[in-house]
Amino acid sequence: MPSWSVLLAVVAYIAAALCLVLPLIDRPAPPRPIALGVAAIAVALHFMVALGIHQGGINLHFFAALSLVGLVVAALTLLVNLFRPVSGLGVVVFPLAAVLLAVDTWLAPPTTPLPIEWQIKLHVTFAILGYGFLMIAALLAILLALQERALRNHRLDSSLIRALPPLTLTETLMFRLIGAGFVLLTLTLLSGVLFVDNLFAQHLVHKTVLSIAAWIVFGVLLFGRWRWGWRGRRAVRLTLAGMVVLLLAFFGSKFVLELVLHRTA
């Protein structure tokens, strides 16, 4: 893809984030639909750039995978904002997606997509979508913690807190995303068992163990929510703990294998 497409996508991401952050600091800003429209342009360009850079294939090398997850999270953020106005998500996600795209395009060493059978593509699709849903849930957990702290300190007049949905709606949305991410993570693990031939030869044992650990954390959280109505700090801590383990499972292991040990994950 031409370099101007990458630059335009990065600029559109940053512009969308600025449009969303201005109301949070009590500054005049374009209407929210315009900000989301600019973000949609950025996501579309990011998608086309990813296809162009990687010849239409799925590139799972470290920086390419980061950019792909950034694209998915940005797209899901747009989807979430169609149903719940959570501008705080875009303020964080869109600049992050811009940085990941720029690094993959301009700074990362060139890589070639490996030939992947459809079974592994299905496994990867489940994994990336699962990461996307759970990443947004983790960001909502942080926003939820900020809301609860503001409530305890009687500081509900800040622009950030006013811009967020009511605390109960934020919490409900977070658990719905965790539920969707848990289902996708389950499908990721099941498809991995079915389709990955040699777990040890491909250096996937540590990744699998950490993914199962994250699956257990999110499963316990959902069960606790259903059985005992878990919420608040406990829900936030378990959500963030599960996400940290999941990030270590994929990107932590890929970083060590590819950038430190120079092996293919």
Per-residue pLDDT of 18-32, as tens digits, reads 998 887 777 777 888
Q: How far apart are CA 122 and CA 203, in angstroms?
A: 20
Q: Cα–Cα distance between 255 and 104 in angstroms, integer?
A: 14
Comparing 51 with 94, the larger pLDDT belongs to: 94
User: Do both 88 and 176 map to the same domain?
Assistant: no
Mean pLDDT calculated for residue range 102-124: 79
Sign of torsion over alpha carbons 107, 113, 114, 116? positive
The model's pLDDT over 62-72, given as tens digits with 9 standing for 90+, comes to 888 899 999 99
Range of the domain at 18: 1-115
Query: 53 and 174 in one domain?
Result: no
Residue 250 DSSP class: I
Looking at the structure of the chain, the number of domains it has is: 2
Q: Which has the closest alpha carbon to 210: 239, 240, 243, 238?
A: 243
Q: Are residues 109 and 126 in the same domain?
A: no
State the SS3 of 102-127: HHHHHHCCCCCCCCCCHHHHHHHHHH
CA distances from 221 to 109, 129, 137 (A): 39, 20, 13
Domain identity same for 102 and 213: no
- Contact 140/89 with Cβ under 8 angstroms? yes
